[in-house]
Amino acid sequence: MTEIAKIRTFLIAVMITCLAASLMIFPKEALEASTRGLTMWWDVVFPSLLPFFIVSELLIGFGVVSLLGTFLEPLMRPIFRVPGVGGFVWAMGLASGYPAGAKLTARMRQEKKLTKIEAERLVSFTNSSNPLFIFGAIAVGFFQNAALGLLLALSHYLGNICVGILMRFHGSEEERFLRQQRKPQDRSLNHAMSIIYEERKKDGRPLGKLLGDAVQSSVRTLLMVGGFIILFSVLNRILTLIGFTDFLAVLFSIILSFFQLPNELSIPLISGLFEITLGAQLASQVTEATLFQQVVVTSFFLAFCGFSVQAQVASILAETDIRFKPFFVARIFHGFFAAIISVILWPYVYTENSSGGNISSVIPAFLSNGSSGLGTTLWHWLHMYGSLFTLIMLIIFIFLMAKRGLERAEP
């Protein structure tokens, strides 16, 4: 075992050295890729995720999550074999996108609201792309086709539900030794108020400190997310320049031919496995493939969520005893589930509605071409004011960190 660990360490060191050498050989291309990743994080990822992270921390601090867990227990326990608090994590992960599900699951595990097995089940199906990214960036931004948003979203979220149901069987043998008799939970109003009071009393932080801690914790997580986005944006570009992506494309073309998909989709698929945004952009530009084939491949790597997001999740889970392997296996299942569901739903969700010409009856009004609804407004707001919001919140973060440092320095 020691020899295997030594070989693994040596191989990792060699790969890192090769990456460093590639950065020196292709400095201009690396800078462009880094700038692209930074722009994505600065303008969109940070301002879209930070409010959800802060609100989540406040809800946990005030005991609202424990209250919701009591009422959601009858839904989450029979279907997914996780406590009711998993419903809150699932909802927030769906609304805000990755890696919110992993962050909240790790927090619930640290709060002892989940067992290790329950946390591994929960994290496997609560990390998903948010609707704004699917509808705004992929469907409208890359494919210029609003009707595709509904198909991609249904495939993505139904696939996640399938993963959750499948992962309910994870850890059954281990859990058998830890199973305890659960007492019936009181769901009266008085009991609900007592739950909130007890959780708030146990937390003990005043509102100002709770808010400050929420901002600091959220910004730290998003700084880590930004670093991974930039790193994998550069890595993806370097692999293309040195020809490694073309080498993998030969192998992936064999797999694609088995599913009767054109070889030209191999490069977008590989890029999407590293970074979703670039993969979706490349997939939408493959003229040799039909729109149906482009959507199937996009559904797969959108569900797989890319090595960039998986690295973010691994970093978050490393702070707990939650294992990463079940999450990775779940992503593979999610990719196949989403692709299969997109094939099944294609004639019902996209083909009929597109031929009928009445898209407004199928998708939300804000997704129709030329509309100026809430979704479109939010997407434009992110691109116009996202960078300013990011700058303001980073200044607040620096101020809070400096204040805490001065308080610790005082005798």
10 inside domain: no
Looking at the fold, whether 95 and 161 belong to one and the same domain comes out as yes
CA dihedral 37, 267, 349, 329 (to 10 degrees): -80
322 inside domain: yes
6 inside domain: no
357 inside domain: no
Looking at the fold, whether 302 and 385 belong to one and the same domain comes out as no
Angle in degrees, 0-180, between the axes of helices 325-345 and 306-317, rounded to the nearest 10: 140
Looking at the fold, whether 217 and 336 belong to one and the same domain comes out as yes
Residues 377-398 as b/e (b if ≥16 CB within 10 A, e otherwise) read eebeebeeebbebbeebeeebe
CA atoms within 13 A on the CB side of 53: 27
How many Cβ atoms are within 10 Å of 185's Cβ, its own excluded? Answer: 13
Looking at the fold, whether 248 and 383 belong to one and the same domain comes out as no
Looking at the fold, whether 389 and 250 belong to one and the same domain comes out as no
Looking at the fold, whether 286 and 384 belong to one and the same domain comes out as no
Diameter of the chain measured on Cα atoms:
74
Looking at the fold, whether 75 and 221 belong to one and the same domain comes out as yes
214 inside domain: yes
The answer to whether 331 touches 248, Cβ cutoff 8 Å, is: no
- DSSP letter at 321 equals S
Looking at the fold, whether 217 and 101 belong to one and the same domain comes out as yes
- The pTM score is 0.80
14 inside domain: no
The answer to whether 392 touches 46, Cβ cutoff 8 Å, is: no
Q: Where are the alpha helices (DSSP H) in 81-135?
A: 85-96, 100-110, 116-125, 131-132
For residues 44-62, average pLDDT:
81
Looking at the fold, whether 221 and 308 belong to one and the same domain comes out as yes
State what percent of residues in the chain have pLDDT above 70: 84
Looking at the fold, whether 119 and 78 belong to one and the same domain comes out as yes
C-alpha span between 152 and 157 (Å, rounded): 9
- pLDDT at residue 67 tops 80: no
Count of residues making up the chain: 411
| Least confident among 101-115, 189-203, 245-259, 282-296 | 189-203
Q: Report the number of distinct structural domains present in the chain.
A: 2
156 inside domain: yes
Range of the domain at 388: 378-406
Looking at the fold, whether 51 and 164 belong to one and the same domain comes out as yes
Looking at the fold, whether 61 and 153 belong to one and the same domain comes out as yes
- pLDDT at residue 271 tops 70: yes
The answer to whether 52 touches 95, Cβ cutoff 8 Å, is: yes
- pLDDT at residue 330 tops 90: yes
Decide which of 330, 350, 370 is a domain's last residue: 350
How many Cβ atoms are within 10 Å of 241's Cβ, its own excluded? Answer: 15
- pLDDT at residue 112 tops 50: yes
For residues 38-59, average pLDDT:
82
C-alpha span between 190 and 19 (Å, rounded): 60
Q: Which residue has the higher pLDDT, 354 or 329?
A: 329
Measured CA to CA in angstroms, residue 242 lies from 1, 19, 21, 239, 265 at distances of: 33, 10, 11, 5, 20
Decide which of 350, 368, 389 is a domain's last residue: 350
Tens digit of each residue's pLDDT (9 = 90 or more) over 372-396: 455 556 666 766 777 777 878 788 8
Write down the mean pLDDT value for the chain.
81
Tens digit of each residue's pLDDT (9 = 90 or more) over 218-258: 888 889 888 888 988 888 888 888 888 888 888 888 888 88
C-alpha span between 193 and 210 (Å, rounded): 20
5 inside domain: no
- pLDDT at residue 180 tops 70: no
- DSSP state string for 327-346: HHHHHHHHHHHHHHHHHHHI
